[in-house]
Structure 1
Amino acid sequence: MTALLSGARILVADDQPDAARTFCRTLRDAGAKIQHVADGQAAWDAIGSQPFDLLLIDMKMPPQEWGGLWLLEQLANARARIPALVLSGEGGKAQVIKAMRLGAADWVDKDSAAEQLHPACVNLLTEVNEAALQNAAEQLPTLLAYRFARYLRATTTDTQVSEGLHTIEAILRFASCIGMAASQPRPIPGLSMSKLRRPSMGTWRDLAFALGRQTETNATAKRIIQALAPDTPTRNAVDALVKLRNDIFHGRTAPKNTDRDTIDCLLRRFAHRTTTNLQLGLAVATSMRFDGNAYTLDALLLRGTATPQPATHHADRPVVDGTILLLDGASAPTDLTPLLASMVTPTGEVRCVQFDGVLDSTDSNGDPIVKYASGDGGDGELRNLPVPTWPAAYQWTTSS
């Protein structure tokens, strides 16, 4: 299972960079992407800006005498669940015990790290890899969880490739919708209104990757994109899967086991990164109270494939009932109107619907009218959908 290290993103926090590079050589030779930082604060900053599959944390480094413990405390307080291996030298056993209590998954003695680190990392990544898809189906926002649940039920190469491609498209769509709903509009090269009328998997890919490059894009959207395709090789892999999807659709090729394996690796990595690095959620607002100082928002949490559950959040401004909100654990809920919307079925079930393009016609003001599709696995025809307009669509496009 050493292949698990190929492409794995590992953050190494150690104030002895030469030693760290030496004992990480076998990981790098196996294809892991290693990033080194010299102290706990730098590690905390890196974790806040990009996804990692695994942390290697030296116990004795800045800040303070035991900066590794400081970093683990920050992770615990933020409820981040990135698996961590701690590196301990002589005299650090008490600190290792405390590190394990703070959530570290395992420890390696620095004196034997050159021999022990590689198998320890493989064992830990094997464990998280096996749990990643189920965790995604249970913990991610419903729009993504539903697709992961369907992917998990697929048993043949054909269905695994088909459901896997649908899941990757759902990720690209989800990130794009958040990016455009929660960011200041800015023209995306090559994006036309005709593409927004009938967006394909290729359109969502182009949108997501372009948003990932724009500095103004909402931070959560960028981190979702990074979790799927953080570097050029994985972006190339996604490009190849878009072509594969088109070739299968037009009968030019049939799914192969190698296609299935590529998709499975991408989805497991994305599932692991999002469930451990991000506090990601969606909710639909149901009511709001104002005590004269702050707003308290009652909402239904759209998580996993289960029935929406009641939750309470604080907001910095009024929110209209029925609004779909992004929850990222770091800031006030973000309004995702009109790219995501809610509806209530005749049986009283709350459903989340997602942007599926704009109509050919516009409203009386010339604004594009949004059309929606189900994204949460609900059965039956969607009726009584909201019919909002999206004036900002013109600001994202470069042509008609």
Structure 2
Amino acid sequence: MSQASILLVDDEFPIRATLGDLLRRRGYDVQTADSGEEALDRIAQRPFDLFLLDLRLPGVDGITVAQRVRERYADAAILILTGHGSLDSAIEGIHLGVFDYMLKTSSPQDVLARVKSALEAQAEQRHKKSLMTTLQTVVGELGGKQQEPNETPTQQPAGDQWIRVGELEIGLWRQMARLGDQTLNLTPTEFRLLSCLAQQAGLVMSYANLLRCAQGYEAESSEAAELLKPHIYHLRQKIEPDPSNPRYILTVRGTGYVLAVEAPQSK
């Protein structure tokens, strides 16, 4: 099996050299770009499995690069690099799925762990898509109606475990979520967050517990809150009628988040 391909985009040479060498020594196929323009050129030439992307780039900024990546390669994993302690400005305006983000001061072990986690989640998603395509083909050959790739299934597959919270349905085996008759287009991290909250619906999950459940690593409450914030923001964009006034994913200030068992009706 060939190693995953990575495009590292950063205008700082020390970052490109250090991270590039670190990843190559782990066997990854790594290319680098020092600007948004060069990144777009490389994206047009060949696909990549994962993008390590600095948002603050001269010329074409990182937000534009991330948008082009998502338009061209729907299942590519994107990890955001930032040199800023406060991430509010770094993620402003990004309304697309990113797997995770990390500070440029993160340890080499942390960078490798995040890259490995992102690629494993991507491989799992690709495998499940391939498996579902095969199953749909088999059903069609047996005389059933072959389901279109984007069609919502009318029957839930045997053995799947579903969680239902009000209008929300989460299929753990298929890693799909629906709100009413709408299928939600979630990133792997968003799906795990929603699943963790749904399994504790009506109960407050602390920042640290939610991060542990969804991402599998430990952090102090304040750090966990910052790590969760962008993912909760994107998740609300996809499921809330009014993301600025959440009805489903509620914040318990200073503590954590809770998935409302019954979303309050708008007046």
TM-score (norm 2): 0.46
Larger radius of gyration: 1
Higher relative contact order (CA 8 A, sep 6+): 1
